[in-house]
């Protein structure tokens, strides 16, 4: 052990004895110089004093013993600050301010103490700075781990609450209205439910939708499910629905279904069912379907296997080698509101050709284009054929 080492240990021991006073000085400097600590009440004065005192005591104890500093106190501080939602950079600033406020006077005072050599002060500074770095690292690691744990717990809690809202079930004894209040939703409508189909399981197809709606003062909560990304959206008033649709159309990469507008949270589960039906019934070339606005497409997509069987029965009499051509003709005639001339222009043929083909369809499937019931059946069957094919 060198003379310098003896001096270091004596200096460390004297600093440990004054750790309480030095901790109070550090806490005062932090409260005065760090805006977050000065302007908020999230960290109490006693908590800050205890934290500063314990951290300094561990640092100076390491100097007194010559051993590696115990960073337990720093880790505990990191956990407490994460739980108090103190920003990490504010905590690190507090560490720097507190350390500087204590150590600079120690160095200045040490120069007036003949028993402390310049070499001892220099070595003490190096060791204390290294210990402080270790403390800061330990605090930051503990803070990050605790913050990640808190985020995970909060995410699981929100998921359970949103699931309760969507299913109409109570969560932890809370009513639907209490759940909505906890999630930040008003407890009265108008609402809609949005169901976005997922291309990849476990990956949100619209990760920014809540933020973008929030910029328009449209509140929403979202839940990722195995095959859909589901949101409960509060519109403030029904006239906001077009704004919602505009955002969804811009963000959509898969089919999106929107329920009809409703006012009672107890209807959320049924609205989810309708939004899923609307998503499944989204017409070709369309990204977003509102349940109330696309009855034909929704009817076609309500039960795909059953509807495909029904459609195949409607068109069963069409010859295989002509079926595609005849279906194209039916589709053009429907889209042209029953005008043979307009349908012919679309198909690049003569209007009489269109009429001839329609007569052949009537003959093959025993249905008439002048019978409203038959026309309705063929409309739905054609929609199913285009979406799901025929058997």
Q: Sort strands 256-258 and 219-224 into parallel, antiparallel or unpaired.
A: unpaired
Cβ-contact 157, 146 below 8 angstroms: no
| Euclidean distance between CA atoms 95 and 71, whole angstroms | 14
Q: Bridge-partner residues for 232, per DSSP?
A: 193, 221
- Whole-angstrom Cα distance, residue 179 to residue 163? 10
Q: Which of 61, 64, 44 is nearest to 135 (CA)?
A: 61
Distance CA 147, CA 275 (A): 35
Rounded CA-CA distance 184/261 in Å is 19
Token pair for 224 = 């990722």
What pLDDT is stored for residue 1 in this prediction?
A: 44
For 270-297, what is each residue's pLDDT tens digit? Answer: 888 888 888 876 666 778 888 866 666 6
Beta bridge partners of 219: 234
CATH architecture group of domain 307-388: Orthogonal Bundle (1.10)
Phi, psi of 195 (to 5 degrees): -120, 115
Q: Where in the chain is the domain with CATH 1.10.10.2840?
A: 307-388
pLDDT given for residue 190 in this prediction: 92
Residue 94 to residue 30: CA distance in whole angstroms: 6
In the chain, ranges of CATH 1.10.490.10 domains: 3-149
The rounded mean pLDDT for the chain is 83
Size of the chain in residues: 391
Look up residue 86 and give its two tokens: 């103190």
* Mean per-residue pLDDT pooled into runs of 10, the chain (391 residues): 68 81 86 82 81 83 76 86 86 85 74 69 79 86 90 80 76 69 82 88 83 90 86 89 91 88 86 85 75 66 76 86 89 88 90 91 89 87 79 71
Give yes or no for a contact between 122 and 147, defined as CB atoms under 8 angstroms apart: no
Q: What is the pLDDT of residue 297?
A: 64
Alpha-carbon distance 69 to 54, whole Å?
12
Contact between 297 and 383 under an 8 Å Cβ cutoff? The reply is yes
- Partners of residue 123 on adjacent β-strands: none
| CB 196, CB 247: distance < 8 Å | no
For the chain, what is the HEC assignment?
CCHHHHHHHHHHHHHHHCHHHHHHHHHHHHHHHCHHHHHCCCCCHHHHHHHHHHHHHHHHHHHHHCCCCCCHHHHHHHHHHHHCCCCHHHHHHHHHHHHHHHHHHHHHHHCCCCCCCHHHHHHHHHHHHHHHHHHHHHHHHHHHHHHHHHHHHHHHHHHHHHHHHHHCCCECCECHHHHHHHHCCCCCCCEEEEEEECCCCCCCCCCCHHHHHHHCCCEEEEEECCCEEEEEEECCCHHHHHHHHHHHHHHCCCCEEECCCECCHHHHHHHHHHHHHHHHCCCCCCCEEEHHHCHHHHHHHCCHHHHHHHHHHHCCCCCCCCHHHHHHHHHHHHHCCCCHHHHHHHHCCCHHHHHHHHHHHHHHHCCCCCCHHHHHHHHHHHHHHHHHCCC
Quote the CA–CA distance of 118 and 104 in Å, as a whole number: 14
Contact between 30 and 94 under an 8 Å Cβ cutoff? The reply is yes
d(CA 90, CA 178): 34
Give exposure, 274-301, as e/b (b: 16+ Cβ within 10 Å).
bbbbbbbbbbeeebbbbbeebeebbbbb
Say yes or no: domain 3-149 is CATH 3.90.550.10: no
Pairing state between β 191-197 and 256-258: antiparallel
184-301 topology per CATH: Alpha-Beta Plaits (3.30.70)
């Amino acid at each position: 052990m060198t003379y310098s080492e003896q001096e270091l240990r004596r200096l460390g021991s004297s600093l440990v004895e004054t750790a309480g006073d030095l901790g109070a000085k550090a806490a005062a400097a932090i409260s005065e110089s760090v805006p977050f600590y000065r302007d908020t009440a999230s960290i109490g004065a006693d908590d800050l004093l205890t934290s500063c005192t314990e951290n300094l005591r561990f640092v100076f104890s390491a100097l007194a013993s010559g051993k590696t500093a115990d960073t337990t106190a720093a880790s505990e501080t990191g956990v407490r600050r994460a739980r108090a939602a103190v920003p990490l950079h504010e905590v690190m600033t507090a560490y720097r301010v507190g350390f500087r406020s204590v150590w600079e006077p120690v160095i200045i005072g040490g120069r007036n103490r003949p028993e402390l050599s310049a070499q001892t002060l220099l070595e003490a500074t190096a060791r204390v700075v290294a210990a402080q770095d270790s403390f800061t690292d330990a605090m930051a690691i503990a803070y990050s781990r605790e913050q990640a744990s808190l985020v995970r717990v909060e995410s699981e809690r929100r998921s359970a609450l949103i699931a309760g809202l969507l299913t109409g079930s109570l969560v932890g004894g809370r009513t639907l209205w209490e759940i909505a209040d906890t999630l930040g939703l008003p407890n009265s409508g108008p609402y809609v439910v949005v169901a976005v189909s997922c291309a990849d399981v476990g990956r949100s197809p619209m990760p920014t939708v809540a933020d973008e709606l929030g910029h328009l003062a449209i509140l929403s909560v979202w839940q990722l499910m195995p095959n859909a990304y589901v949101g409960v959206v509060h519109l403030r008033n029904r006239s906001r629905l077009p704004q919602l649709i505009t955002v969804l159309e811009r963000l959509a990469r898969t089919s999106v279904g929107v329920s009809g507008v409703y006012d009672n949270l107890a209807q959320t589960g049924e609205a989810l069912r309708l939004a899923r039906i609307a998503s499944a019934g989204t017409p070709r070339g369309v990204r977003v379907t509102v349940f109330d606005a696309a009855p034909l497409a929704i009817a076609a997509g309500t039960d795909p296997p059953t509807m495909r069987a029904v459609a195949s029965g409607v068109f069963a009499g069409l010859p295989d080698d002509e079926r595609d051509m005849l279906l194209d003709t039916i589709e053009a005639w429907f889209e042209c509101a029953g005008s043979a001339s307009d349908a012919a222009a679309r198909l690049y043929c003569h209007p009489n050709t269109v009429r001839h083909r329609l007569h052949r369809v009537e003959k093959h499937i025993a249905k008439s284009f002048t019978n409203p019931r038959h026309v309705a059946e063929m409309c739905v069957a054609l929609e199913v054929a285009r979406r799901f094919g025929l058997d």
